[in-house]
Amino acid sequence: MKKKFLALALSLVMALSLAACGGSQEEAPAEEGGETPAVEEGGSDVITVGFAQVGHESDWRTASTKSAQDVFSAENGYELAFVDCDNDSAKQLEAVRNFIQQGVDYIIIDPIVSTGWDAVLTECEDAGIPVIVIDRTIDDSDKYVSWVGSDFKVEGLACGEWLKAYAADKGITEINALVIEGSTGASATIGRTEGFKEVADREGWTILDSQNGDFTEAGGQEVMESYCQSYEGQFNVVICQNDNEAYGAMTAMDAAGVSYGVDGDVIIVSFDSNKPAVQHVLEGNMNATFECNPMAAPFVDEVIQQLEAGETPEKEIYMEESWFAAEDIVSEITVNGEAMPVIHVTQEVLDARPY
């Protein structure tokens, strides 16, 4: 800790001298993107954490960032160096290398994509800085202490199993689906796509198209506008791989005169289940939403405290998630042999949503 403390003090002196000669490290609030300055000088018992966040592309991401800022605070004994990597993998690798230079005590990574990580994780290992991965996965290296996140394939499977049961109850015998994917190469995209496709293939459904909406509202709207032209009258299901894409898709379908939701011609679902999406489900604009829990920071705090105490944390820590539907039709689904409840959204359910 003292070694790193000295390195931090040196980087603080460098930052201050940089500022004195006109350079500066603008401190940008996380919700606008940007980065906090190098970890400032703290007491010797302050735990310094560098967090290389995906970006600021969605409501889910905002909730994830807020969770980290709430947990890794001064009053909790932390100094947080936060970098919003703006969905740019090169920037994310650079941020991690800067954390190594700053000599932080721990590095948290939410990897934009799941490959290209072994070299920089080896540098973290050589520097003696433990890495904790959250949310998305790193698939080409295991040089990190723990991963905290969700099973994205289970989310995709749950969506498929719910749709199967819902369609059966509604007497819908033919499914022609359009998928608006998340960012290419993200494990969330890969898992949700795989899971839903596994059910679709088993049930003989048709996936008419599957294009990248980049987890953004604009991306969802753009892809859906194209779909409304290319597949007019051919589709009855839209799978949006996050809430923000669904908001954009609804805007596009409104403009194209396509009805959707509980009383519409098209079933629309999303992943994440942020409060605005659950509100849309309550109002019947969306048929269902499948939660992806963004509150990983408390679990990371637990991992760090275990490491500080000389204990060995779990390598994989999965977070609890729920599935929400507008109508009280499908109350339970089975995924990988496990029975899972489907929550009928009421005002009480909406009010209880934490993010």
Shortest reach from residue 215's CB to ligand GZL, in Å: 4
| Residue of 4, 15, 35, 57 interacting with ligand GZL (CB under 6 A) | 57
Q: Report the site for ligand GZL in 247-306 (rule: CB under 6 A).
A: 271-272, 292
**Residue choice 35, 39, 61, 248 for contact with ligand GZL (CB under 6 A):** 61
**Residues contacting residue 286 through CB under 8 Å, at least 6 positions apart:** 246, 250, 260, 261, 268, 269, 270, 277, 280, 326
DSSP bridge pairs for 269 = 239, 288
Pick between residue 41 and residue 88 the one whose CB is nearest to ligand GZL: 88
Total of chain residues touching ligand GZL, rule CB under 6 A: 14
Which of residues 141 and 150 has its CB atom nearest to ligand GZL in the complex?
150
For ligand GZL, which stretch binds (CB under 6 A), given 11-19, 53-61, 310-318, 328-336?
Answer: 53-61
242 forms part of the interface with ligand GZL (CB under 6 A): yes
CB of 128 to ligand GZL, least distance (A): 28
| Beta strands 267-272; 288-291: pairing state | parallel
Residue 48 to residue 129: CA distance in whole angstroms: 11
Q: Which stretch binds ligand GZL (CB under 6 A): 56-64, 166-174, 195-203, 230-238?
A: 56-64
For ligand GZL, give the closer residue by CB, 134 or 177. 134
Distance of closest approach, residue 189 Cβ to ligand GZL, in angstroms:
8
Cβ at position 272, least distance to ligand GZL in Å: 5
Binder to ligand GZL among 135, 217, 291, 321 (CB under 6 A)?
135
Q: Does the footprint of ligand GZL cover residue 166 (CB under 6 A)?
A: no
Binding residue (CB under 6 A) for ligand GZL from 39, 188, 277, 286? 188
Stretch of 41-49, 58-66, 256-264, 310-318 contacting ligand GZL, by CB under 6 A: 58-66
Residue 354: count of CB within 10 angstroms of its CB: 9
Contact 140, 114 (CB under 8 A): yes
Residues 205 to 224: which contact ligand GZL by CB under 6 A? Answer: 215
Between 258 and 295, whose beta carbon lies closer to ligand GZL? 295
What span, in angstroms and rounded, lies between the C-alpha atoms of 213 and 35?
Answer: 25
Interacting residue ranges for ligand GZL, rule: CB under 6 A: 57-58, 60-61, 135-136, 150, 182, 188, 215, 242, 271-272, 292
